[in-house]
Structure 1
Amino acid sequence: MRIVTRPDFDGIVCAALLYETEKISEPVHWVEPNDMQKGRVEVREGDIIANLPYNKNCAMWFDHHYTNRPDTPFEGSFAIAPSAAGLVFEYYKDKFQRDYTELIRETDRIDSADLTLDEVLRPEDYPYILLSMTISGRDHSDQRYWERLIQLLRNCDIDDILRDPEVRERCETVVEQNRAYQTALRQHTTCKQHVTITDFRSYKKTPRGNRFLIYSLFPEAVVSVSIRRDIHDREKIIVGLGHSIFNRNCHVNVGLLLSRFGGGGHRGAGSCTVREDRAESCIAEIVDTLMANQPNE
């Protein structure tokens, strides 16, 4: 039995909870949502999928993304909820030996972007938020770190986790990256009415940083578009969308919008991957829809 999940904070917390409650015999199988959507992932009988689209071969499934609504019976839990980890926690709530209430509360806030301006600008003052920013799913060479976090979350409180030498070093790196990221955002972002468009395609290595910083820099925007090249295939373009967490006046369901282009996500955040020769037309259609700002559900 394996856990199949994605390498973000919600996915890592899902894995920690599932290790506590199920007899997991193999390492986590880390998967990107687009690969699951395109059928490029081998899902085995007995696998538990969390925070990813459904696959009929799995034994159990937990998810909360709007575009992944099930149309077939399954074992597990699906709901439009702040986090997939919250659904796992509720499903197994009588089986845990540790108190994960605080962890789930913070995971819900982080994955649903229920954050204050100060938390965005000064994540170093907020332990769970800072920890979540040490996880980037772009580089699978970080797999050992993701697996280490699973064990730390199962066995330590947040203060002890942040004292771990590797975690502490990564947290310090995050703070430095966020400073540089602000500069990169200012240099590569244009604002069309209420839509920000950040284009990082010129970078060989896409800048990393707090994805919510864009909303503090452009408070007039209600939605952001980010464009970058796939780290593994330079001819693939990744387009990410997000509702502003401070100016909540975007009426477009971005997960539903991106499903037109083979992607998906939540109402307020999502992504799609397109070939370079289709990128300009896809981006133009996406931006036009966002600028119209009409409900699409």
Structure 2
Amino acid sequence: MSPLDNITRVVADSDLDGLMAAAVLKAAKPSIEVHFAHPALIRAGSIDHLIDRNTAICDLPFHENCGLYLDHHQTNRPTKQQQILFEQNGGICHWRDTPSAARAAFDLMKDELDLSHLEEIMPLVDDLDSGGISLSEFMEDGPVIRLSRSLSLKDKNHMQVVLNQFAEGESLDNIIASHQERLSKLETEREAQTELVRKNTTIVDKLAICDLSETGSRSNGYLVTALAGSDAIACCVIHGFIDGTIDNPNRQALGASFYANSFLDEENPYDLSKLATLLDATGGGHANACGCRVQPADKSREMLVETDKDYNLQKWLELWSKRDTLMRQ
């Protein structure tokens, strides 16, 4: 019996890890339809209509109504009681402590079909998602790193094309070549993005704070920490718009992502997810990479006002200042 026997739909995160996890499942069962999302949509119930016992969820928060749950984020892991009830009701839980959700999916399905066409990219997906990329690899900005940056809910058609290419067994070289124009454009835009990040980053108590709110731009933690160097042991990237919403990829809700500086020789000793969940009950991720939405200082209102970003940042910095006693892993 295959874990995909009753699965007709996949809901996956919209980054390279989520896409590759979905590609593994689609390679095993080509008829599966794939929808891309992000954690806030799951937690807010915005896509509950897509989730039932015929749905597999990959690289996203746990949902009790799905049929197959596949992930590797510590804060997404269902409790023991949740897992027991989920499995009693017919669900399959494949949460694994792997470098990526794609690796968890690969391990789940590798005995059912030949996945050798994905073996070349899998270590890169693992490294990108777990902070295993070296500084030199990141600064080189190779084609796979640029391909990962090309994936966005702003262009769902592109994501479906890349998904199908990997699921149907195309070689990595051919996939990269087919998107050369897009990847070359990202290469030329890297310099402008680097300057924007440098201009909007300040370092407070060894935390690099990159405020990209209201710019329409985003950055991963790799670029921020690469520029900050040894002056920062972690970073906070603020993005989105004060009037944004979680379901509008072109004007996203105001949020923050926290990343450990994986380019340092020593491992990160702090659980950054404590920052992500400090004010936002729906925040979460890994100890080394996580995120949340900016919350109103006044809990009686839902809409954000100009001062809310500063309020959230103040609270994060207060906790960060006590990291040696309150945030140790």
State the TM-score, normalized to the length of structure 2.
Answer: 0.81
Please give the per-residue CA displacement for 1:241-266, whole angstroms capped at 9, x wherever unaligned. 10001124543211233123131010
Structure 1 residue aligned with 2:122:
104
Whole-Å Cα distance in 1 between the matches of residues 96 and 115 of structure 2? Answer: 24
Q: Is the 8 A contact 2:53 2:68 kept in 1?
A: no
CA deviation profile, 1:12-43 (whole Å, cap 9, x unmatched): 10111001223644x31221101212222211
Residue 171 of structure 2 is aligned to residue 171 of structure 1: no
Name the CA distance, whole Å, in 2 between partners of 1:249 and 1:289. 20
Pair 1:228–1:116, CA change in 2 (3 A) = same
Residue in 1 that maps onto 2:259 = 242
Q: How does 1:166-245 map to 2 (within 5 A)?
A: 167-203=179-215, 205-206=216-217, 208-209=218-219, 211-219=221-229, 220-230=231-241, 232-233=244-245, 236-245=253-262
Q: 1:31 aligns with which of 37, 41, 46?
A: 37
Q: What SS is found at the alignment partner of 1:212?
A: helix
Amino acid at match of 1:171: L
- Structure with bigger RCO (C-alpha 8 Å, 6+ apart): 1
Say if 2:56 is the partner of 1:45: no
Name the Cα RMSD after superposition: 2.0
1:264 partner letter: G
- Identical positions, percent: 24
User: For 2:239 and 2:30, how far apart are their aligned partners in 1?
Assistant: 39
1:255·1:269 contact (CA, 8 Å) conserved in 2? Answer: yes
In structure 1, distance between residues paired with 2:163 and 2:253: 31
Alignment of 1:38-187 (within 5 A): 38-42=44-48, 43-71=51-79, 72-73=82-83, 74=87, 75-99=92-116, 100-124=118-142, 127-137=143-153, 139=154, 142-154=155-167, 155-164=169-178, 167-187=179-199
Partner letter of residue 224 of structure 1? C
Amino acid at match of 2:173: D
Residues 136 and 236 (structure 1), Cα distance of their counterparts in 2 relative to 1, 3 Å cut: closer
CA distance in 2, matches of 1:143, 1:264: 24
Compute the displacement of 1:212 (Å).
Answer: 0.9
Once the two structures are superposed, residues 94-131 of structure 1 have per-residue CA deviations (whole angstroms, 9 ceiling, x without a partner) of 1222402222222111111211111111113xx32232
Match of residue 3 from structure 1: 10
Per-residue CA shift, 1:116-174, capped at 9, x if unaligned?
A: 111111113xx32232122134x2xx11100100121132111111111xx11121122
Q: What is the SS of the residue equivalent to 2:150?
A: coil
Aligned to 2:3: none
User: For 2:11, what is the secondary structure of its paired residue?
Assistant: strand
Listed one character per residue, the Cα deviations across residues 191-245 of structure 1 (whole Å, up to 9, x for unaligned) are: 1131111112242x22x45541212211120000111224843694211110001
Aligned amino acid, residue 131 of structure 1? L
Give me the whole-angstrom Cα distance separating, in 2, the residues matched to 1:93 and 1:256.
35
Contact 1:178/1:209, CA 8 A, preserved across alignment: no
TM-score, length basis structure 1: 0.89
| The one of 305, 308, 311 aligned to 1:281 | 311
Question: Which moves more between the two structures, 177-186 or 67-76?
Answer: 67-76
Task: In structure 1, give the amino acid aligned to 2:149.
Answer: M
Measured in 2, the distance between the counterparts of 1:60 and 1:197 equals 37
Structure 1 pair 256/66, CA: closer, same or farther in 2 (3 Å)? farther
| Unpaired stretches in structure 2, ≥5 consecutive residues | 1-7, 246-250, 296-303
The answer on whether the counterparts of 1:3 and 1:49 sit within 8 Å (CA) in structure 2 is yes
Give the Cα–Cα distance (whole angstroms) in 2 for the partners of residues 92 and 250 of structure 1: 32
CA contact (8 A) 1:201 1:228 kept: yes
Match in the other structure for 2:248: none
SS of residue in 1 equivalent to 2:70: strand
The separation in 2 between residues aligned to 1:210 and 1:13, in whole angstroms, is 19
Q: Structure 1 residue 69: deviation in Å? A: 1.5
Cα contact 1:251–1:293 (8 A) shared by 2: no
Query: How far apart, CA to CA, are the structure 2 residues paired with 1:34 and 1:296?
Result: 26
Structure 1 unpaired stretches of 5+ = none
> Secondary structure, in 3 states, of the residue corresponding to 1:91?
helix
Q: For residues 283 and 210 of structure 1, what CA distance do their matches in structure 2 show?
A: 18
Q: For residues 65-84 of structure 1, give each alpha carbon's deviation from its aligned partner in whole angstroms, at most 9, with x where no partner exists.
A: 11012122341411222100
The equivalent residue for 2:298 is none
Q: Distance in 2 between matches of 1:286 and 1:64?
A: 25
Q: How many residues align?
A: 287
**Which residue in the other structure is 1:20 paired with?**
27
